[in-house]
Chains A and B, each alone.
Chain A
Amino acid sequence: MSSQIGFGLVAAIILVSALFVVRSKNLIHAVLWLAVTLIGTAALYAQLNAPFLAGVQVLTYVGGVVTLMVFGVMVTRRHGGAEAPAESDSDEKGFIFATALFVVLALAIWKSPVPLPVQAPIATTNQLAHALLDDYLIAFEALSLLLLAAIVGAVVLARRRDPDPVSGEEAGAAAPTRSTTEVVP
């Protein structure tokens, strides 16, 4: 019973914060509400006996993705004040697409028989590690290769604007070259 109350509470937090993410007129507020949504998802994982997943969710999504989004907003927006207006298309179009997506997903979930165990299976972090690094090693490594390719691609895209690689190399001896990682304007 208490677990159902907990689930209801977390689900309500996720839904309400997700609503604020899309309805917020201020971009920074939207990103911070997204952080609340993601922490709520982590709480769901924790309730389902998956503490490792919950920790990774907070570490990568809230600590990494949200922080980078916030940083992106800060460095790309011209901010005359604490406002960062979020521009979006008409509400009607968004409503139609969201409803259509919801109907499709709801039908798919409704139609497909998913046998759910009454009790969530308890997998220890050790078992998880063995699964990732023994049984599914190839898939795991392939995924990391994909991520590596994405990182290299991002670096290539970001460095294209460097004026002169030779002089940049020389300046690098005293101070690092002007790259995207440097933030002080």
Chain B
Amino acid sequence: MNDFIHGSLYGGGIIVVLLTVTAMALWFERKMAGRMHSRLGPTIVGPFGLLQPVADVVKLLQKEDITPEKADAALFNLAPPMGAIAAIAVAAVIPFSSSIVAADLEVGVLYLLAIGALGVLPVFIAGWGSNNKFAMLGGMRAIAQSVSYEVPLVLAAMVPVILSGSMKVSDIVAYQAAHHWMVTWPFFLGIPAFAIFMLAMLAEANRIPFDIPEAESELVAGITTEYTGMKFALFYVAEYVHTLVASAVGAALFLGGWDGPFAPGIWWMVAKTLVLFAFIYWTRYSLLRFRSDQLMALCWRWLVPTGVVLVAASAVWVVFAG
């Protein structure tokens, strides 16, 4: 019963915090995009346009909720909540400080990889259930992309697991606090693994430069073509939560998680997560979208072989130098 209360409290807390940060992230992204385009971004609603996300949500709530007549209604309506759930569920194993973690699973890394792999199903369901050619193409692209990038993601995540000797996310962070962060030493393993991990995470979250399933210049809006109002908003939220969680996981596995001087652990974790988050937006407004075949070539020709070498090298490092 104690576990039940513990789980409910943490679960509720994580959802509230994630959704609040997501709303703020919308504002942050628009501000940042505005500055990068030499404009001001939102300025009207609230001080510095801070209430813009609230206005956006109110607008979306007013929109008509449409289910296309020829769509597979059950699947069409199932996809948006499923996507949001899959994105939020990953947050359960992230340690926000040495004591704040919702479920410190023994196989935490495996859990977040498995739930990440589930994340493609809602995207596919949306593509198929919409009964729309553009949505369908988006869904097919999403599956190909996700199945491919699953491989380098798992390989890159294995590097901190091998180096720290544990699959528990909190143990990996504790190891980094006691020794070195993964990206500082051995940096020749940590930095490439970190890079591959973040790339693959971005590809799984379908963010630019990997937002090929949506690709508004070629596929109208990809899988979200037929969605309106709050159902569309849920996809949007899922994408932001996914990016946020990916940043937190990257910070925990490679950047030392809550480890840092002067301030309590949670502030370090939040700071590292937000820096990675901002970096992802930076790339979003700097880079162009890959073509689908280029994306596959990048994955299978570069990331997968590099990942295999990194995993083997980590094992050698642990045996002979660790």
Contacts and interface: CB of A to CB of B under 8 A. Distances in A.
B292 A59 contact: no
B121 A35 contact: yes
B51 to A, nearest CB: 39
Interface string A148-185: 00000000000000000000000000011000011111
A184 B118 contact: no
Interface stretch (B17-25, B137-145, B173-181, B260-268): B137-145
A32 B115 CA distance: 16
Contacts of A184: 137, 140-141, 292-293
Contacts of A63: 114, 116-118, 120, 150
B288 interface: no
A28 B144 contact: no
A66 B300 CA distance: 21
Contacts of A175: 293-294, 297
Question: Size range of the interface on B?
Answer: 35 or more
Interface stretch (B56-64, B67-75, B269-277): B67-75
Contacts of B139: 74
Contact of B296 (A32, A35, A62, A182): A182
A58 B140 contact: no
Interface stretch (B102-110, B186-194, B236-244): B102-110
Nearest to A26: B72
A176 B293 contact: yes
A47 interface: no
A65 B167 CA distance: 24
B111 A55 contact: yes
B225 interface: no
A67 B72 contact: no
A143 interface: no
Main SS at interface, chain B:
helix
Interface stretch (B6-14, B125-133, B250-258, B306-314): B125-133
Nearest to A83: B72
A26 B110 CA distance: 32
A67 to B, nearest CB: 6
Contacts of B141: 183-184
Nearest to B212: A184
Given A28-B75, A71-B143, A74-B128, A62 B117 contact: yes
A82 B129 contact: yes
Interface string A39-58: 00000000000011011101
14 contacts: A28-B72, A32-B125, A51-B106, A52-B110, A55-B107, A63-B116, A63-B150, A67-B121, A70-B121, A82-B130, A175-B293, A181-B300, A182-B292, A184-B140
Interface of B: 70-72, 75, 105-107, 110-111, 113-118, 120-121, 124-125, 128-131, 136-137, 139-141, 143-144, 146-148, 150, 154, 167, 292-294, 296-297, 300-301
